Amino acid sequence: MRISGSFLVAVLLAAAFALYLTGRDAGSSLDAVTSVAGDLRESGVDGRALENETALRMVTVMEDLLDVPDSISDHRDDLRVIAETAASWAAAAPPASRELHIAVSLRSAAGDLRAYALRPSQSLLMRARRRLDQAQGSLDGKVGSDGSPQPHLATDGLRDQLQNLEQAQREQQQQVDEALKR
């Protein structure tokens, strides 16, 4: 019995030490992800603080366009301005923040609608709707089941930053496509 008791204590100490090391490793990994997310910024964009009222108006405007998809091509310049404004908000937003998520969601929704103006597709409308829902949820301060605000993880911030850079590349391609279509 003494051997099994000593063995059990040794196993518990080893497990505690492994958990301690894993926790330290997770903490350093989280710091690394946060650092990388902060360094992924679009160049050439001046940052501005997110304006909630303007963001809400953008959501409303794009939802109205989704209700009448045939009118989207008439509003390409408006969508470009929305995307540029959201890009400036993303440039000023801290990593893994509500502001960054809102900005990237709005920018991506505007990009999807601009893409629809060039090549109509139901999937682009559905994707724009989903992104507008995400932006609206963040603007509304969507809460979890326990009533607390949903956390923004470092990996969420990294995903948002990468999505923002990807959208910047898509916008450059859209400008070329729009110029060729005119």
Could you tell me how far CA 126 lies from the centroid of its own chain?
A: 17
Read off the pTM: 0.74
Please give the C-alpha separations between residue 77 and each of 21, 22, 143, in angstroms, as whole numbers: 54, 51, 34
pLDDT for the residue numbered 13: 66
Helix axes 98-118, 52-67, angle to 10 degrees: 30
pLDDT digits (tens, 9 = 90+) for 123-163: 999 999 999 999 999 998 854 444 434 546 667 878 888 88
Total of domains in the chain? 1
In a domain, 138, yes or no: yes
pLDDT for the residue numbered 44: 75
In a domain, 13, yes or no: no
Q: Who wins on pLDDT, 25 or 71?
A: 71
Please give the C-alpha separations between residue 135 and each of 33, 38, 88, 119, in angstroms, as whole numbers: 23, 21, 16, 24
pLDDT at 15 over 60: yes
Which residue segment(s) compose the domain that 90 sits in?
Answer: 40-181
In a domain, 124, yes or no: yes
Quote the mean pLDDT of the chain.
Answer: 81
In a domain, 1, yes or no: no
Q: Who wins on pLDDT, 75 or 161?
A: 75
Integer Cα distance of 111 and 58 in angstroms:
13
